[in-house]
Chains A and B, each alone.
Chain A
Amino acid sequence: MTTSYAQLPALISRMTGAEKHGPAALSTLDALWVLYDRVLTGTPEDPDRDRFLLSKGHGPMAYYAVLAAKGLLPVEWLDGFGDYDSPLGHHPDRLLIPAAEIGSGSLGHGLPLAVGTALGLRAQGRTAAVWTLIGDAEFDEGSNHEALAYAGALGLERLHAVVIDNSSATHGWAGGIAARFAAHNWSTATVDGHDHQALFEAYTARHPGRPHAVIARVEPKN
């Protein structure tokens, strides 16, 4: 089953109860949609599937809507969002959602886990891509900086990070977030986080011998 981008707001409203929800209201929606619609390959059971690790576990409605749209979780689950018996919490749990590669919520865990996953796949001779999505405020967490320095030094080519930048980091990132990745030997691209073609091109840019970071800029949170 596949659903079109135009139907995502209806899926999201099943969680929020709101009548209308413009896609732009969710900072991660476009970045997630383009990734799941046009980039990631493989089914959840396939050991060679591409992995997507949602690190920014806050506000997972866009994630759940995209998974439901792609047939990766039952649409009916959306109605119970956050209920006692629902598999869908306000932070995702991989043991409750078969299509979720990790449980997240506490910030700064996705990128280190993605590094380990990419290394584990490489050690088994698998070439699947590993993606993680973090936020610009989440980037404050020091664990990200441990991970990006190490991954860059290794030239971990199958590793990809999407950074949703809504200018919400309390002290900002003087000089830009991309510069942090670039300084550690990552390939980087900074694009409009709502421009599907620009996202697609950034996601699929070649980056031989280096990990790749896509900074998706969206409207400031505040």
Chain B
Amino acid sequence: MDTMRERFTTVTTELLEQDPRTALVLADIGAAPFEEAARRHPDRVLNVGIREQLMIGVTGGLALAGMRPIAHTFASFLIERPFEQVKLDLGHQGVGAVLVSALGSYDWPTGGRTHMAPGDVALLDTLPDWTVHVPGHPDEAETLLRHAVADGDSLVYVRLSAHQNAEPQPVEPGRFLTLRQGGRGTVLAVGPMLDAVLAATEGLDLTVLYAASVRPFDGAALRAAGHADVVLVEPYLAGTSNNEAHQALADLPHRVLGLGVPRAEHRHYGTMEEHLRAYGLDAAGLRARITAFIPR
């Protein structure tokens, strides 16, 4: 099985071939797999060098000229470093783009804090009109990426990760899937958190929803699950979607527990598995916190 990022390369290369409106903007990171595409489409595969402010500025300019740009680098350099460009060169200009990140929150622990961006989705939540996809499998990444590029001139963030589930789900943009139905509460697993959530809730009387798209947030699906107790399990900053869940259930008595990556810096290296365990996002850690919140 390929990785989400490898699938991104395959699909984007194909889209560049098929649709003359598409353009890809890179800042050195991830450029090597696109060398052949760059030779075939030198005007539409643009590597600006290690210049992330320019990367987003160029993306905005391409959109102003009528193109459908895709920009790709690590989340920390795609959203955090050029955040004002994301705010002003895209949304404020009234143009769209597809931003595709890699590494996310904890994918490269030996790289440390500089290459971790657990706050990316929370940052985009401060801006209007962003669609956010968090696929949990390369097949889902392909579905969501194709949809994003074809989705008019909308603003779409696709958050790719090396952390993935064993099996793909039949995802639809903007919709949560119901994978299990139970009587005592709802657990929403986002993207790569699904396998750990399914293991953590095995044998518990809980509904399990799955989200590979979190903005817009499918509040109707959360309401339809019919439970007052809700646990959100997200592969980025803990609590990022709490407010969305509260809004969905605003007229009902309810409780929300937001699990995810802690805000505090975690000054350890090691492996992704070690980090997930340390954050309490492995199956055992999740089960302990879910059962403490929703007694069996």
**Chain A interfacial positions (CB closer than 8 Å to B):** 47, 93-95, 101-103, 106, 108-109, 111-124, 126, 142-143, 146-147, 149-150
Contacts and interface: CB of A to CB of B under 8 A. Distances in A.
Given A147-B54, A150-B48, A124 B61 contact: no
A145 to B, nearest CB: 9
A106 B53 CA distance: 13
B61 A103 contact: no
5 contacts: A94-B94, A112-B54, A116-B62, A123-B67, A150-B54
Contacts of B96: none
Contacts of A102: 64, 93
B88 interface: yes
Nearest to A132: B61
Nearest to B58: A116
A109 B90 CA distance: 11
A112 B88 contact: no
A114 B58 CA distance: 8
B273 to A, nearest CB: 38
A113 B66 contact: no
Given A95-B94, A146-B48, A124 B57 contact: no
A113 B94 contact: no
Chain A contact residues, majority secondary structure = helix
A113 B85 CA distance: 10
B166 interface: no
Given A103-B93, A109-B85, A124-B66, A115 B61 contact: yes
A113 B61 CA distance: 4
Nearest to A113: B61
Contacts of A93: 92
B44 interface: yes
Contact of A113 (B67, B84, B89): B89
Which size class do B's interface residues fall under?
A: 20 to 34
B67 A115 contact: no
B53 A113 contact: no
Contact of A117 (B48, B53, B62, B94): B62
Most buried by B among A94, A115, A146: A146
A123 B92 contact: no
A146 B65 contact: no
A101 B93 CA distance: 9
A108 B60 CA distance: 14
A117 B61 contact: yes
B88 A116 contact: no
A87 B144 CA distance: 37
Interface string B255-269: 000000000000000
A114 B61 contact: yes
- Nearest 7 interchain pairs by C-beta: A116-B61, A112-B57, A120-B65, A116-B58, A146-B51, A146-B54, A117-B61
Interface of B: 20, 23, 43-44, 46, 48-49, 51, 53-54, 56-67, 69, 84-85, 88-89, 92-94
A116 B53 contact: no
Most A Cβ at <10 Å: residue of B49, B63, B66, B84 = B66
A103 B65 contact: no
Given A94-B93, A113-B61, A114-B61, A120 B66 contact: yes
A97 to B, nearest CB: 12
Identify the interface centre among B48, B56, B63: most chain A CB within 10 Å of its CB.
B48
B49 A113 contact: no
Given A116-B62, A143-B85, A147-B54, 13 more contacts: A47-B66, A102-B93, A109-B88, A115-B57, A116-B57, A116-B58, A117-B62, A118-B65, A119-B58, A119-B61, A120-B61, A146-B53, A147-B57
Nearest to A153: B49
B23 A120 contact: yes
Given A94-B93, A143-B54, A113 B64 contact: yes
Contacts of A149: 49, 51
A161 to B, nearest CB: 14
B153 to A, nearest CB: 13
Contacts of A111: 57
Contact of A115 (B49, B54, B94): B54
A117 B84 contact: no
Contacts of A119: 23, 43, 46, 58, 61-62, 65
Contact of B49 (A122, A124, A150): A150
Contacts of A120: 23, 61-67
Contacts of A116: 57-65, 69
